[in-house]
Structure formats: structure tokens, C-alpha cells
Amino acid sequence: MSSTNDQIAGLFDDMATLLQMKGDSIFKVRAYQRAARTVEQLPMSLEKAVREGEDLKAIPGIGDAISKKIQEMVTTGRVDTYERLKSELPRGSLTFMNIPGVGPKTAVLIARETGAGTVEELERAILQGRLADVPRMGEKTAQNILRHVRRMRSKKSRVPIGDALPMAEEVISQLHQACPGLDRVSPAGSLRRSKETVGDIDIMGTSDDPDAVMDALVGLPQVREVLGHGSKKSSVVVQSGLQIDLRMVDADSWGAMLQYFTGSQQHSILLRDYANQRGLSLNEYGISDLESGALEKQADEEGFYRRLGLPLIPPEIREGMWELDLAREGRLPRLVEIGDLRGDLHVHSNWTDGADSLEAMVQAAAAAGLEYVAITDRSPGRGTSAGLSSKDLLDQVRTLASLGERCGIRVLTGCEVEILPDGSLDHPEDVLQQLDIVVASIHSALGQSPAEMTRRIVKAMADPTVDIVGHPTCRMVGSRESEGLDVEALFAAAAATGTAMEINGNPNRLDLKDSHIQRAVDLGVPLAIGSDARCIADLAHTRFGVAMARRGWCEAGHVLNTLPAPDLLAYLGTPKPHRRSLLAGRG
């Protein structure tokens, strides 16, 4: 029997809900919710941790009872308490919790009183007027539920950051154009924390004339529906189906507001608890003294944390894990920034499946201020997309010789070589040896078992010519997860052989993902942030790679392409097992 961390997190979320439906202690409910959030983000597999007898109680928010339930889930595939709780409540209760505005109390009430077990049955009950008759309901509530059920159907669930961030940036730029009085403005919520997908877009701003900004938002051409239009908060749905919430706040509370609406909720709970212990109380306007009740407004976020005796905690790690403990001890890492990247180590051209020429890509990389760029076109592979034969690759190497000088950037010759199903590489060793850098990746035979995949990648890492494993887990955001792949084994091999793992910035991949990056950092695995660009515009995808790296607590010193060009070349010129010391200790 096996259970993934996500399944265990889902179980704890459901348990929290069921306990709440039963009217159990809200603190017990919150304990399960916290455990769910923690498990979801854990950098290592709980199943493996249980098998190896590790102490789960060292994990924040996991104590005696929950640790036993994790063991039960991993060893038997089910948790008795959960099954029992579920059987005590009416069918449909958990389902109705997915309807916005319907919480545990309402979900049980409508399941019990209407007898509905599915959303379709509930919809029929509402149309027949059977919900409005239920005590504590009413016509208005019934119609609201109906509206939400119908909107739920047309709304897509979560949107990748690669779509959401540009959309938010466009809206912000449109608002600036329309409203000269718009002063501060920033994304908040999960978008500001750079989660790989977001449920909606939160934007906050300050202005002398907030109404004008709100009017501008609801009047934007891409707005499909206006859900709310006030002077403090407005909500719209844009063409793509994504919801955008805009809040206009007073400038003197900007810091407290931004902190509050950035979350995460778990981070807020821990921070407020921390403040309470120091005689302070936090809300979205500022910080008040518990005794006197006097409120100090906070105009900027740094001051907000400083008032609590803490350094500014970067939004990307505000997830209620270890960030508060480390902040208190002054041991927060200095997370890698986009400006730390000196080059891009994964770029394609129209010699294979890219859209732009070698020269155009190199020029664009130079214009972006990079010191170096590696051209890494695909090998023939077994797939349909045309890769470069070994002969064409060597032609490309000769073509590149003069290009860098003309464009004012160091050009590294390279390739993205396919790791064949047996773990061998798709170019002969003597060809690969002539390149500055080799990225080895998998695009074919994805149907192999996770164990075969693991062996295949580990074998490729043993090859002395392989510098980086590209998109190492072959995941695709929202559609294909790397379940079963032995990431621990990959990282162990990477550390042992001195092979770097890529953080692929293509927003459809984001591979490694945040929790894997965190684990890689812990294990001292070298990392490389690459755009995997296929056209000039894609070069900017490194910013998504950096965002994921930051969520993975990654510092500049962990990342290969923060090295200046001469240091990187010296690194690549050193035999793999001896490279580690050249990167370690930086940043």
C-alpha cells in the first residue's frame, strides 16, 4: 500500500471538515488543517520517512496522534477514525463543502434536510423550492448557492503562475495608465508568494482617488463579469474565467494590509500567536498593544516585521513552516534573486524546434544583460521533433565560434541530449566532449515505470559529460506529476557524481518544483536555473525558475549560473566529482 503526501494532506483536510461538521473543538480542527498544509509542502516523502522509522513528530504541527494516523495511512492505506467520522455524517456533506459560501454547518444541514447527495440533486432541490424552506436558510441563501453551483461549473480551478502573473501585470499597467493618482500597487495572495498555480488574482493599491481606480478596473476591456464594485474592494472575472480582486487601502496601513493579504493563512496564525506572546495583537491595519489597545498603523511591510523584532520574511517562504523560527534566530537565508543570474544554461534555436535564429537568441540574451548563454538544441531522440544529428551539432559549434564576440556575450556550445530508455545518451561521447555544456533530459518513453525512469536518469548522471539533468522529474504543471519517481535516489546520485539538477523555468514545467528544490538544497545538490527558451520572449521564463527556487529556500550559492563566466568555465572544466567545492560556500 502506498500513500503520497498529497493524499495524506487531503485526508487531514477532510478530517478537519468532518470534525467541524460534528461540532468538535475548533482547535482540533485547526490542528488537522495545519498538518494538512505542512504535509502538502514537505520536502520528503512521508511514506519513505515512515518506512525508515523517522520521527514524524519533529515536523511542525505533527504530534503524537497525527503521527500515528500517518503511520496507519502509510501501512494500511486507510485511517479508521476517518472512515468512522465519514459514516456518521449524511452523504454529500463533503461534496457540498466545495461550493463557495457553503461551510461545514451549511453542508450538513442541506445534505440532511434535502436528502441531496450530489450537486445535481441539490440543484434540483433548489429549483423545487425545497432548500428555501429549510430552517435558517431562505430564498436569498438558496439563490446564492444556486448561483455559485452554476459558476463553479464554468470556472476553471487553478491557473498556472505563467498565465496569472502576466495577466496581473497587464491589469496593473492598465490601471496606471487610466489613473494617474494610483500610487502603490502590488499583487498579494498566492500570486505574490509565487505559488505555481493560483485560484484567483489579488491586487492591492493606494490612491487619493480609490473610486477612480475601481471604476477603471470594472471598465477594462478584458472584464467579462463584475462580481462586486465598491470603493474598498471590487471583484471581476476576465475573459479567461479568472477572478481578479482589487483592494484599495489607506496609505498609512499599506504595510499591514499587504502583509495580511499576502498570507499564507498558516503564516498569519503563527505570526499572530508570536505577537500575542509579546503582548501585541496584529490586524490588517497595524499592530496594537494588548494592554492599552493603542494601534500603531504600519505603512510598510518591513516596518511591520521590524516592530515584531523580525527581519522581513520573503513572501515566497511565508508558508507557516520553519520561516518564523529562523527569522527569530536571525538565520533566514538570502534567497536567490533574478539579478543574481549571470547567464542562461538552457536555450534552443530554430536549428531544432525553436522559433528564432541562433543570432536572434544570442542577441536577446545579451540585450537582457546576461554574461553568457548556452545554446542547447535537442538531439535526434526517438521523437518526432527534428533534433540535430551529431554532424549538424558540430556544424553549429563552428557557427557559434564568432557569434558571441559580435553580440558582446560569451556563448557556450552545448546540447540538450536525450537520455535514451536504457539510460545511454543520444550523441557519442567524443561529440559531447567537444561541447562546453551538456544538458541531459527525457522526452520519450515516458510510459516507463517510475523505477525504470529512476534507473535511467541515475545512469545518465554517471556519465562524465553530463553537466545538468534538464527538467529532472518530467512533470508538467497541473497534468503530469512525477509520482513514484525516487527523487531521493536522484538527488543522492546528483550529489555523489557532481551533476547539477535543473530548475526549469518553463511555466508549464517548473521542474524541479518547490518542495523538491528545498530537499535538493538540504542535500547540497548543485542547481541550475534555465529558461528552456524556444523563442526570444521565453528567455524571461528564468524568472519563474527563480520564483520556484526562492520557494525552495535556495540561495545564489546553490545555483551554477550565478557564477561569473570565468568561474563557470573553470567549474565546467573540472572533472565532475571535484566540482562541488567550487560552488559550495558561496552566497
Partner DNA sequence: GCCGTTTTCGGCCCGACTGTTTTCAGTCG
**Cβ 5 to DNA shortest distance, Å:** 16
Q: Which residues are registered as beta bridge partners of 287?
A: 282, 296
Contact between 584 and 349 (Cβ < 8 Å): no
CA angle at 401 for the pair 395 and 402, rounded to the nearest 5°: 125
State which residue, 3 or 454, has the beta carbon closest to DNA.
3
Q: Which residues are registered as beta bridge partners of 187?
A: 203
Instruction: Summarize as ranges the residues that interact with DNA (CB under 7 A).
Output: 25, 27-28, 30-32, 35, 57, 60-67, 81, 100-107, 135-141, 144, 189, 202, 232, 261, 263, 265, 268-269, 272-273, 275-277, 281-284
**Cβ 209 to DNA shortest distance, Å:** 19
State which residue, 250 or 359, has the beta carbon closest to DNA.
250
State which residue, 22 or 480, has the beta carbon closest to DNA.
22
Helix H or strand E encompassing 131: none
State which residue, 132 or 535, has the beta carbon closest to DNA.
132
**Cβ 513 to DNA shortest distance, Å:** 24
Q: Rounded to 5 degrees, what are φ and ψ at 105?
A: -65, -50
Question: Which set of grid coordinates corresponds to residue 352?
Answer: 531544432
**Cβ 66 to DNA shortest distance, Å:** 3
**Cβ 172 to DNA shortest distance, Å:** 18
d(CA 563, CA 231): 48
Distance of CA 258 to the CA centre of its chain: 20
State which residue, 16 or 583, has the beta carbon closest to DNA.
16
Side chain identity, residue 149: V
Q: Rounded to 5 degrees, what are φ and ψ at 398?
A: -65, -40
d(CA 90, CA 106): 12
Going by their DSSP bridges, the two strands 437-441 and 410-418 should be labelled as: parallel
**Cβ 196 to DNA shortest distance, Å:** 19
In this structure, how many other beta carbons lie within 10 angstroms of the beta carbon of residue 446?
9
State which residue, 295 or 523, has the beta carbon closest to DNA.
295
Q: How far apart are the first and last CA of the chain?
A: 42
State which residue, 188 or 336, has the beta carbon closest to DNA.
188
**Cβ 231 to DNA shortest distance, Å:** 10
Question: Which set of grid coordinates corresponds to residue 267?
Answer: 503564516
**Cβ 93 to DNA shortest distance, Å:** 10
d(CA 53, CA 158): 36
State which residue, 159 or 568, has the beta carbon closest to DNA.
159
